[in-house]
Amino acid sequence: MESTVAVPVYRRNEVALTDCLTRFATTRGNATAITFVDYAASPDGITRSLTYSELHDRVCAVAARLRGGFRRGQRAAVMAPQGIEYVVGFLGAIHAGLIAVPLFPPGPEGRPGRIASVLADCEPSCVLTVEDEDEQLGRTLRECGFPDLERVAVDVVAERADGQYRRPETDPGEVAYLQYTSGSTRTPTGVEITHANVLSNAAQALEAYVGEDPGASTVSWLPLYHDMGLVLSVAAPLVGGIHTVLMDPAAFLRRPVRWLWHLSVNSPSVTAAPNFAFDYCAAKVSEKDRAWLSLDGVRSVINGSEPVRPATMERFNRVFAPCGLPPESHRCSFGLAEATVFVSTSRAHRQPRTVRFDRVALGEGLARVAETGEEYSELVSCGSPIGQRVAVVDPDTHRPLPEGTVGEIWVNGPNTGRGYWKHDPAESASVFDAHLVEPGELPGNGWLRTGDLGVLHEGELYVTGRIKDLIVLDGRNHYPQDVEETVERHEQLRKHHTAAFPVTVDGTERLVVAAEYARSSPPHLRNPEETAAAVRKEVAAEHGITVHEVLLLEPDTVPRTSSGKVARQLCKRRYLDDELGSEDVHG
């Protein structure tokens, strides 16, 4: 699939993200660069902003502090809370010639085991934090086995460097930061994102979602340690010279209307969220709160990081249509950390296309539009790429497949990462520098293997699932998200919190379903046997599958990745390791 060409919005002599900041500090120094709305300090939100000039001074001061104590190429782990200090620390590390490592701070998601694994992998020379969190971070680092790791509180560094700071000479192909993937493997995997990668992907995202509107703002509650949050809230605004507004994820979860309110008051606005957030808003934002929203200035609402459900998109658009939300603002997208983040998106100024494909044919690897009365899987188009190429490839023969045939999605472009940190070069090359057999007019090498399955239909990309998650039973392929959606129709079960996965029983592949009870379903009103029987009946009727075991779990039991996706492989591993308590199982 050929792309349109992304026009770089950065200049040829700009090698690093912070070069763009330096330019805007000179040409638009008094313009507001970044705003953080702190709802932890006040339920009404306390707003703090920095101009380009102020942000540049802070970044240079941190860079000067780091250059005085650490060598170029050493890693600096960023573990500050969501906010301006996180951005200053991340950019300061890059500006000092260090490799930034955006991580989560100690807290609900800061599990010592995960932190210890990542720190052991990236071997940082320092950790960037803030003064208020320094004591807690120190305790966490001791628990993780890193008691002597130097901590730098970026908010107590001088607001500007002594003298004029200049970053060290940098090559575009050098690593700017390590983006640890949000997957469920035991060993964390860091993707090497170069300076050229992030500048290219920021330009691609700007063209796709912002267009030529210099007055646009990005609004985000996504964690800054996650690829989508980092590019949407830091890289793209910095390259494009547009205002970015940040919130903490917890502020969104407590009152999702806050996100929509900031979209209203910062229009024209661009934002992004995983699929569950749209269902969450439709269910939780009251009619009274919706009366105060004015969403007609929303340019792009990026729906990505997990499978897009057509019903969710339709529900969100219907609920917020009276608030002026343009239905064409919904931009269904495909991306991954190995490609920095952005790969393809539905077309601007047009509602995303949805197609009902014959479910049996799709399981056999063919995308055929379902006839009336046939079982179908409804998929949403992720459109086409910008500034890169996408091909659907036979994962075994490495030959490009014709339109209408399901295969592995491969990506080729300046935004694909350099490799996996500390992995065997040959292993990284098999993922990041794959070769096409009989490429035709496509490039023969330099392809990124995504591990995702998809199909091209009428010139647009439809993502069907992950190769490793595919359920193969009795010679038929089933996509887990289809089964999970069927399970979640039960009123007592929680949406977006179900995992369907295969296990081997006596040499035969069988299906296991792990589903959480809805929070609105208290224990005294539950009937596990009846619910399990209903799940079995629905799955058998809808998919022709006999469920081997149904696990009915308490809320927040099914594991999820840092981006909010269900971690099916981790759930399967916990099941096989008997880490899901027997009291939760209803066979």
Domain ranges of the chain: 17-249, 271-288+300-468, 471-586
The conformation of residue 168, written as its DSSP 8-state character, comes to P
Q: What is the DSSP letter of 210?
A: I
Q: Are 106 and 79 in contact (CB under 8 A)?
A: yes
H-state helical runs in 269-423: 275-284, 287-290, 310-320, 359-363
- When computed from its CA atoms, the radius of gyration of the chain, rounded to whole angstroms, is 24
- State the Cα angle at 97 between 93 and 102, rounded to 5°: 35
Strand-pairing partners, residue 32, are: 51
Read off φ and ψ for residue 573, nearest 5 degrees.
-65, -40
> b or e along 102-131 (b: 16 or more beta carbons within 10 Å of the residue's beta carbon)?
bbbbbeeebeeebbbbbbebbebbbbbbbe
Rounded to 5 degrees, φ, ψ at 232 are -65, -40
Q: How many angstroms separate the CA atoms of 155 and 129, rounded? A: 8
Give the residue among 358, 343, 442 at the shortest CA–CA distance from 406. 358
> From its phi and psi, is residue 465 left (phi > 0), alpha (psi between -120 and 50) or beta?
left
Q: Which position has the token pair 């069988």?
A: 510
The closest alpha carbon to 186, from 250, 136, 111, 93, belongs to 111
Q: How far apart are CA 450 and CA 471, in angstroms?
A: 18
Residue 26 in tokens = 């000179």
Q: What angle do CA 92, 98, 102 make, to 5 degrees?
A: 70
Identical topology for domains 17-249 and 471-586: no
Q: How far is CA 129 from CA 75, 179, 186, 362, in A?
A: 14, 18, 26, 48
Contact indicator for 129, 149 with CB cutoff of 8 Å:
no
pTM attached to this predicted model: 0.88
**Sign of the torsion angle spanned by Cα atoms 228, 233, 238, 244:** positive
- Looking up tokens 């980092």 gives 230
Token couple for 78:
């960023």
> Do residues 242 and 205 lie in contact, with contact meaning Cβ atoms separated by under 8 Å?
no
pLDDT score of 185? 43
- The amino acid sitting at 239 is V
**SS3 category, 412:** strand
What CATH topology corresponds to 471-586?
A: GMP Synthetase; Chain A, domain 3 (3.30.300)
pLDDT tens series, the chain, 587 aa: 766 555 567 777 899 999 999 999 999 999 999 999 999 999 999 999 999 999 999 999 999 999 999 999 999 999 999 999 999 999 999 999 999 999 988 864 446 777 888 999 999 999 999 999 999 999 999 999 999 999 999 999 988 887 788 899 999 999 999 999 865 444 679 999 999 999 999 999 999 999 877 789 999 999 999 999 999 999 999 999 999 999 999 999 999 999 999 999 999 999 999 888 999 999 999 999 999 999 999 999 999 866 778 888 899 999 999 999 999 999 999 999 999 999 999 999 999 999 999 988 998 999 999 999 888 989 999 999 999 999 999 999 999 999 999 999 999 999 999 999 999 999 999 999 999 999 999 999 999 999 999 999 999 999 998 888 888 887 778 888 889 989 999 989 998 899 999 888 877 788 999 999 998 888 888 989 999 999 999 998 888 889 999 999 999 889 887 667 788 888 888 888 888 754 445 55
Cα four-point dihedral sign 169, 174, 180, 182 = positive
Q: Which fold has domain 17-249?
A: Rossmann fold (3.40.50)
What is the C-alpha to C-alpha distance for residues 574 and 564, in angstroms, rounded to an integer? 18
Instruction: Give the full edge-to-edge strand order of the sheet including 448-457.
Output: 389-393, 407-412, 448-457, 460-466
Lookup: tokens for 304: 């990505």
So what's the architecture of 271-288+300-468 in CATH?
Answer: 3-Layer(aba) Sandwich (3.40)
Rounded CA-CA distance 226/534 in Å is 37
- Tokens in use for 353? 């296309």
Confidence (pLDDT) at 109: 46
Q: Is the dihedral of CA 125, 131, 135, 136 positive or negative?
A: negative
Q: What whole-number distance in Å separates Cα of residue 101 and Cα of residue 35? A: 22
Tell me what pLDDT residue 184 has. 45
The DSSP code sequence of 539-580 is: HHHHH---EEEEEEE-TT-S-B-TTS-B-HHHHHHHHHTT-S
| Cβ atoms of 486 and 538 closer than 8 Å | yes
**pLDDT at site 295:** 97
